[in-house]
A and B are shown apart, each in its own frame.
Chain A
Amino acid sequence: MSTTTDIVAKLWNLCNILRDDGVTYNQYVTELTFLLFLKMMEETGHESRLPSEYTWSKLARLEGMEQLTFYRKLLLELGDPTKITDPTVLAIFANAQTLLRKPANLKALTKAIDELDWFSAREEGLGNLYEGLLEKNAAEKKSGAGQYFTPRPLIDAIVRLMKPQPGEVIQDPAAGTGGFLVASDQYIKWNTDDLFELGERDAFFQRHHAYTGAELVPDTHRLCLMNLMLHGIESMVASADTLSPDGEALGKADLILTNPPFGTKKGGGRPVRSDFSITADTSNKQLAFVEHIVRALKPGGRAAVVVPDNVLFEDNIGRRLRTWMMDLCDLHTILRLPTGIFYAQGVKTNVVFMTRGTTDQNNTEAVWVYDMRANMPSFGKTRPLTTDDFAEFEACYGDDPYGKAQRSDTGEEGRFRRYTREQISERNDNLDITWLRDETDEFEERLTDPDDIAAAILGHLKNALEEIEALTEELDTEKTGTVE
């Protein structure tokens, strides 16, 4: 683990070279991705996928303006569909550009990349290395990349509970940098001796057809493809908007794991899918993603989705969606996540676990809620989320990915409670359920890191703002656009 951390740290420090050239954190990882891709093609013996004139050694050998010019040409050519047929290469270099202007900087980068300890990195898995980079980028608050990155301990906990199986089609309609897909794949490989236990045909399926998904933002899509490729996944995640008609083409899945983008929506526009009935009239993208997920699940298919609080309590369309969801699916478990675990500030989120029924009515009998939010340590830079933090929840959830393991209600003082469908109807199908006394104030008292305190301040401001925006929308029942 330490070699990967070392390399990640060294690569991250290279960022200082690029900052000189006016490259921001956000652009940095993309810039690095192009170079790393070429280097990794060499390290993994895949250079046959590239035109022979554009290999890493050809680039690294050059110097000065000649190198920079060559590099610019390389980026253009590798993204040119008339010249390249390998879809992964094409997708990674689509519209690729470099922001470097000083030849000395490019040389420093290629030199530094060459000097890294690639042998050890290969041992550890280049994929882990790349994910380390992505995580570092996400943690840099200025980059805003945090919104594309779900913390690894959370992903791992969800994957452990949902138990992806070989042969299943696994979809992430908001793939970000590919965390869920990669984690699912690693889980399956771990349980099948790296796919060795599967026959030829099944192993081929795993590599080429098991994973589907979409990512809207081109730069993030690039990082996702790189991430998948480095983990030996050849499936393609589409560069598309799930909430557009392209989303219908994603097809059906056995398992959906996803963290759709949250935060207040800017700009107007509604998702325009002909197959959407409930959320056709809302600009709330989180609700729309939930409708997509329910529709994309095969009968008996299961899903785990990260959603913000408003999906659980919003009235009107939100309520209709939840009622519909609880009819078509067995919405068996909700995990209320603590605040401060995402790199985006102050969001309140939950994980909803559900199974699509074989019929369309009354599939939910009861909902189990685990409150991991009230009275939890304040997560942040000084107290990051770890796998252990989920241990209690995983024990309560039980062994059955469909949520049907034997479970017990821990009572009013405990964190895990069961609510019948009738009880939920009485609450008007509001799933924002709490019962523990909230002692937030005491926890905020104990924060010491200024950044954590600032995060708490911003979190409260953001909450207040969200309430007021929602209220403004409710006041103006005639208005249909988004609120700025």
Chain B
Amino acid sequence: MSAERWSLPSTWCWVTIGEIADIVGGGTPSSKDETNFAIEGIPWLTPADLTGYLETYIERGARDLSEKGYRTSSAKLMPAGTVLFSSRAPIGYCVIAVNEISTNQGFKNFILPAELVPEYVRYYLISAKDYAESIASGTTFKELSGSRAATMLIPLPPLPEQRRIVAKLDALMARTRQAREALQHIPTLIEHYKQAILAAAFRGELTADWREETEYEPASVLLERILEERRARWEYEQLAAYEAKGRKPPKNWQAKYQEPEIPDTSNLPDLPEGWVWASAEQICDFITKGTTPKAGEMTASTGEIPFLKVYNLTHTGSLDFTVNPTFVSKETHEGFLARSKILPEDVLMNIVGPPLGKVAIVPDTYPEWNMNQAIVRYRTLPSMNNKYLSICLMSDSILSWATTQAKATAGQFNLTLAICRELPIPIPPINEQVRIVQLIQDAVQWLDIVLEEATSALQLLDHLDQATLAKAFRGELVPQDPNDEPASVLLERIRAARAAESNASKRKQRGKK
């Protein structure tokens, strides 16, 4: 054979699979007739059975065929040791039968002569998925026919060398598999760690040492100050509103001020010394959500006022306005959406989930923004640290209060504004807030790095497997042994045997399974 995919050691040679193996397809009986299938009958495999299947060998698929199903389909029973190769949807799954088995028509199966080690052929086919696809017909849905499969080139080493290659690949792939399994634990653990450290932060554990060494103003005093700021703000806005209308405020207009709700701490955990519980509305300006204007009033990609939806919020507290940016006109913003104006430094959170806990601090990319009804706005008062509030909102331990209160219908959580306002927030002294924010940011940074590294490592492992396989089939993975009977001799034997067999079967031609 002069065709070759790359150059091989002298004791190897290229062959086409059709020259050395019998290629057998499969079939499916009518699925309308239940009696074609059995719980325990004739083992039968479909490509779907191999999704996520990592083992080398297989006994059977999810469904067996009954005698009847077998007879009425073109499925063919093949011997143990047959290499089963999926030829569509998708091309490239490869396993070895440990017992007699049949397949559906999504396979091209290779019954090998004794001179070929099935495990060797399997490794090659796995490494040659792209090659198989290139030979297959079709554009969107590729399928490898039997006749095309027969033209696939396979490098043939001496028989002992095939075994050496398999042993080496087994050992190496076992290692990458272990490494992959280890790395796959990491993303979940990282999420876990993030929540664990947030919970520890709000129990005061991260800053316990700091608290012992520092003088601080108790949070109760801080809260008093914040409440005064809240009142002062309200009064300022009221006066401004009256002035805008050219009116004087009536007597006792200040009495209209509604004190925010004090949280009920009876069911809340004890706080460390110097901390105090506050409701979200005690530490923020008027808390509100947005609303969605008529479709015609929203524009995509450009516009005057950016309009935020839940997909712009993240789990890390940053805003992502690159996703589907939407805008509304200034008119809508000042009119229909006036109550839900958003300013830079506001803290936003989603109120429809799961998942809840998507938070963002609004940057100053735009001077004003707006939002829909799935988002709530927390505008912290000056003496309250907004970054601290944002990490509270990312923490399961704090949000759990809200989720237990929320109605869950059909698996969806909806937080009402009342819940958002009454949400209890543990408030530490102001310097401790800053310290906690720093510690959490550091932790999140570390976690991001670890996640990135783990993800890269996983990708590299795949490359490593590919490279190892490529090396194997170039004859560079294990050394050649000059005493091995060369592949050319093997090939002669195989050809002779197949010629003899084909003459014999021509004489006995019966045309039945």
Q: Give the B-binding residues of A (Cβ under 8 A).
A: 315, 440-441, 444-445, 447-450, 453-454, 456-457, 460-461, 463-465, 467-468, 470-471, 474-475
Bound-state Cα–Cα, A449 to B175, Å? 30
**Is A471 touching B175 in the complex (CB atoms < 8 A)?**
yes
The answer to whether the Cβ of B323 comes within 8 Å of any Cβ in the partner chain is: no
Interface residues of B in 429-473 (CB under 8 A from A): 450, 453-454, 457, 461, 464, 468
A449 proximity list for chain B (CB < 8 A): 196
Contact: B190 with A457, CB < 8 Å?
Answer: yes
8 other A-B residue contacts (CB within 8 Å) besides A460-B183, A463-B179: A441-B188, A444-B185, A453-B189, A453-B196, A457-B186, A457-B189, A463-B182, A471-B172
CA distance A230 to B175 in the complex (A): 46
CB proximity of B445 to chain A, nearest CB, Å: 14
Tell me the residues in window 172-204 of chain B with beta carbons closer than 8 Å to chain A beta carbons. 172, 175-176, 178-180, 182-183, 185-186, 188-190, 192-193, 196-197, 199-200
Check A464 against B457 for contact (C-beta < 8 Å): yes
| Cα A414 to Cα B147 with chains together (Å) | 52
Query: Judging by beta carbons under 8 Å apart, are B175 and A461 in contact?
Result: no
A456 partner residues in chain B, CB cutoff 8 A: 185, 189
Cβ–Cβ contact A474 & B171, under 8 A: yes
Q: How far is the CB of B414 from chain A (nearest CB, A)?
A: 27
Q: From residue A179, how far is it (CB to closest CB) to chain B in Å?
A: 30
- Shortest CB–CB separation between residue B178 and chain A, in angstroms? 5
Q: Which residues of B contact A (CB under 8 A)?
A: 168, 171-172, 175-176, 178-180, 182-183, 185-186, 188-190, 192-193, 196-197, 199-200, 450, 453-454, 457, 461, 464, 468
Instruction: Give the CA-CA distance A465 to B176 in the complex, in Å.
Output: 10
Whole-angstrom distance between the Cβ of B423 and the nearest chain A Cβ: 23
Q: Given contacts A440-B185, A461-B186, are A468 and B179 in contact (CB under 8 A)?
A: yes
Establish whether residues B192 and A467, one from each chain, have CB atoms under 8 Å apart when the complex forms. no
- Chain A residues with CB under 8 A of B185: 440-441, 444, 456, 460
Q: When A449-B196, A450-B196, A475-B468 are in contact, do A468 and B175 touch as well, CB less than 8 Å? A: yes
Give 16 CB contacts A-B under 8 Å: A315-B171, A441-B185, A453-B192, A456-B189, A457-B186, A461-B186, A461-B454, A464-B183, A465-B179, A468-B179, A468-B461, A470-B175, A471-B172, A471-B175, A474-B171, A474-B175
Most buried by A among B176, B180, B182, B200: B182
Q: How far is the CA of A304 from the CA of B359 in the complex (A)?
A: 55
A457, B453: Cα distance in complex, Å: 12
Cα–Cα, bound, A40→B179 (Å): 50
Q: List the A side residues contacting B190 at CB < 8 Å.
A: 457
**Minimal beta-carbon separation of A68 from chain B (angstroms):** 28
Q: Are A475 and B172 in contact (CB under 8 A)?
A: yes
Q: A460 touching B176 by the CB < 8 A rule?
A: no
Of B175, B450, B461, which contacts A457 at CB under 8 A? B450
Given that A450-B197, A471-B176, A475-B172 are contacting pairs, would A444 and B183 also be in contact in the complex, using a CB cutoff of 8 Å? no
Q: Is the CB of B196 within 8 A of A444?
A: no
Question: Which residue of A has the minimal Cβ distance to B200?
Answer: A450
Residues of B within 8 A of A441 (CB): 185, 188
CA distance A437 to B379 in the complex (A): 51
Of all chain B residues, which has the CB nearest A452? Answer: B196
Q: Select from chain B the residue with minimum beta-carbon distance to A449.
A: B196
Please name all residues of chain A whose beta carbon is closer than 8 Å to the beta carbon of B450 when the two chains form the complex: 457, 461
Q: Smallest Cβ distance from A395 to chain B, in angstroms?
A: 32
Which residues of B have CB within 8 Å of A471?
A: 172, 175-176, 179, 464
What's the A-B contact tally at a CB cutoff of 8 Å? 74
The answer to whether B196 touches A467, judged by C-beta atoms less than 8 angstroms apart, is no
Residues of B within 8 A of A470 (CB): 175
Residues on the B chain within 8 Å of A445, using CB = 188, 192
Alpha-carbon distance A271/B175, docked complex (angstroms): 26
Whether the pair B179, A464 counts as a contact (CB closer than 8 A) is yes
Name which residue of chain A comes closest to B478, CB basis: A477
Given A444-B188, A470-B175, A471-B175, is A450 in contact with B182 using a C-beta cutoff of 8 Å?
no
Residue of B nearest to A459 (CB): B182
Bound Cα distance from A457 to B454, whole angstroms? 10
Q: Which 9 A-B pairs have the closest CB atoms?
A: A467-B179, A463-B182, A464-B179, A464-B182, A471-B175, A460-B182, A453-B193, A467-B175, A450-B197
Smallest CB separation, B461 vs chain A (Å): 8
A457 to B461, CA, bound (A): 18
A413 to B15, CA, bound (A): 49
Could you tell me the distance between the alpha carbons of A468 and B454 in the complex, rounded to whole angstroms?
13
Which residues of A sit under 8 angstroms from B179, Cβ to Cβ? 463-465, 467-468, 471
Given contacts A471-B172, A475-B468, contact A461 B182 (CB under 8 A): yes
Q: With a CB–CB cut-off of 8 A, which chain B residues contact A460?
A: 182-183, 185-186, 189
Interface pair B193/A467, CB less than 8 Å apart: no
A391 to chain B minimum Cβ distance, whole angstroms, is 29
Q: How far is the CB of A33 from chain B (nearest CB, A)?
A: 27
Give complex CA distance A314, B211 in Å. 50
User: Which chain B residue lies CB-closest to A454?
Assistant: B193
- The CA of A441 and the CA of B457, in the complex, are separated in Å by 20
- The residue of chain A having its C-beta at the shortest distance from the C-beta of B197 within the complex is A450
A448 touches B188 (CB 8 A): no
Please, which residues of chain B bring their CB within 8 A of the CB of A461? 182-183, 186, 450, 453-454
Tell me the smallest distance from the CB of B206 to a CB of chain A, in Å: 9
Q: With A441-B188, A457-B190, A471-B172 in contact, is A447–B182 under 8 Å at CB?
A: no
Quick one: closest A residue to B477, CB to CB? A475
A448 and B200 alpha carbons, distance in the complex (Å): 9
Q: Which residue of B lies closest to A468 (CB)?
A: B179
Task: Give chain A nearest CB distance to B371 CB in angstroms.
Answer: 33
- Taken together as a complex, chains A and B put the C-alpha atoms of A125 and B439 apart, in Å, by 42
Within the complex, the shortest CB–CB distance from A258 to chain B, in Å, comes to 27
Q: In chain B, what residue has the closest Cβ to A446?
A: B192
Chain A residues with Cβ under 8 A from B171's Cβ? 315, 474
A375 to chain B, nearest CB (A): 15
With contacts A460-B182, A467-B182 taken as known, whether A447 is within 8 angstroms of B196 at the C-beta atoms is yes
- Closest Cβ of chain A to B166, distance in Å, is 14
A460 to B178, CA, bound (A): 10
B189 is contacted by which of A444, A448, A463, A474 (Cβ under 8 Å)? A444
Closest partner residue, chain B, to A471 (CB atom)? B175
* Cα-based distance from A457 to B190 in the complex (angstroms): 8
For the complex, give the distance between the alpha carbons of A444 and B192 in Å.
9
Contacts of A453 in B (CB 8 A): 189, 192-193, 196
- In the bound assembly, the distance between CA atoms of A373 and B246 in angstroms comes to 78
Docked complex Cα distance between A444 and B199 (Å): 17
Bound state CA distance, A124 and B199, in angstroms?
A: 40
Report the nearest B residue to A438, measured CB to CB.
B181
